[in-house]
Amino acid sequence: MWYTTGMAQVAPTRTDRKNPTRGTASESRFSLMEFMREFPDDDACLEHLWRTRYAVDGQHAECPRCKVTRTFRRYVNAERRQSWTCTTCGLHVHPTAGTIFHKSSTSLQLWFYALFLITSTRCGISAKQLERELGVTYKTAWRMFNVIRNSLMAETDIAPLSGTVEADETYFNRSRRNRLEEEYRRHGAGPTVGERTVFGMVERQGRVIVRHVPDATAKTLSGELDLHVLPASMVYTDMHPSYQRTGRHFNHGRVNHTAKVWVDGDVHTQTIEGFWSTVKGGIRGVYHSVSAKWLQSYLDEYAWRYNHREFTPRRPGVRREPTGEAKFRLLVARACLPLAPKP
Ligand SMILES: [Zn+2]
């Protein structure tokens, strides 16, 4: 023996096949194996909900009827009731009540797996792909997706943007001919109308708000700006005529794209343009096309990804999309909360 007794003995480097470990190269991935280990069945998912919503230790929770902390137990019965019972007053507490899982005929584990799949890709996953992965009907897969986007990813209560904000309007799913006409009108007569008109506002180094709007008139766009941007902010736009009066409510800078000026010192709209290219590339690649009816929910998904970017040690100062695991945990945490009442 040539090591001293104080030294830790080096563990044998044999691979334990019953307990696979994550390869160092896949730091950004929460693998399917890890998911399955944490959520092997419906019971594990239900337990997760129970602990997240009510009982950190799995046993003690504040009883809504007794109004004090009580011991809860899960009694195993024939119907396998999805509830925990207060051992003092007998009240049943259902961890799924009020959440997206409530009254769903789809199993909890499938729901969790759908959350895993959606967050394990960078630019989304189609309902068709979800259908294949989950082994459910297309209709079910599509509905699950819709619920996840509309209830978990839509940030309806987002605080107004401030500081330096770039604003821009864009159009989705337009034919080339329409686009040319658009360009023509844009530099000529002014306001344009398209059924897939989208308006985006983004803080530099911050959050994005995207809205599917009826048109790109000055009235519509300034209404959105007033609603989502604080008055003292610096707003940068292009020369679109609808922004002519933006300076009345905000500090306003414009960049003249028609004169081939893209960046003039601090005045540019590169951040929002970058966001558009991500969304358009994603929608083209994953979803192919999006109907006007569901456009907002797709936009919400991309905005959610963008707004949950974080600083990582690898590239200091640059906010990047979180790892699949971080996104998954964020979404699961949101899924454990009761749904906000419909406005
Ligand atoms: Zn009680």
**Ligand 1 mean position to 48 CA, how many Å?**
21
**Ligand 1 mean position to 90 CA, how many Å?**
6
**Ligand 1 mean position to 74 CA, how many Å?**
14
From the list 196, 156, 154, the residue with the least C-alpha distance to 289 is 196
**323 in Cβ contact with 27 (< 8 Å):** yes
Summarised one tens digit per residue, pLDDT across range 31-61 is 889 999 999 999 999 999 999 999 999 999 9
Provide the residues around ligand 1 (an ion) whose CB is within 5 A.
Answer: 63, 65-66, 70, 86, 88-89, 91
Summarised one tens digit per residue, pLDDT across range 74-114 is 887 656 678 999 999 999 999 999 999 998 889 999 999 99
The CATH fold of domain 164-175+189-289: Nucleotidyltransferase; domain 5 (3.30.420)
User: For residue 227, what are its two tokens?
Assistant: 């609603």
**Ligand 1 mean position to 52 CA, how many Å?**
19
**Ligand 1 mean position to 59 CA, how many Å?**
13
**Ligand 1 mean position to 1 CA, how many Å?**
62
Angstrom distances, CA of residue 63 to CA of 58, 228, 340: 13, 40, 22
Per-residue b/e over 212-244, b at no fewer than 16 CB within 10 Å? Answer: bbebbbbebbbebbeebbeeebbbbbbebbbbe
pTM (predicted TM-score): 0.80
Roughly what angle, to the nearest 10 degrees, separates helices 270-282 and 295-307? 120
Question: Cα–chain-centroid distance for residue 315?
Answer: 22
**238 in Cβ contact with 254 (< 8 Å):** yes
**319 in Cβ contact with 36 (< 8 Å):** no
Which mean pLDDT values do the consecutive 10-residue runs of the chain (343 residues) have? 44 55 54 92 95 94 96 79 91 94 92 92 82 92 92 89 95 64 53 72 94 92 95 92 91 83 82 92 80 88 89 70 84 90 61
**Ligand 1 mean position to 65 CA, how many Å?**
5
Per-residue b/e over 266-305, b at no fewer than 16 CB within 10 Å? Answer: ebbbebbbebbeebbebbeeebeebeeebbbbbbbbbbbb
* Segments making up each domain of the chain, as ranges: 164-175+189-289
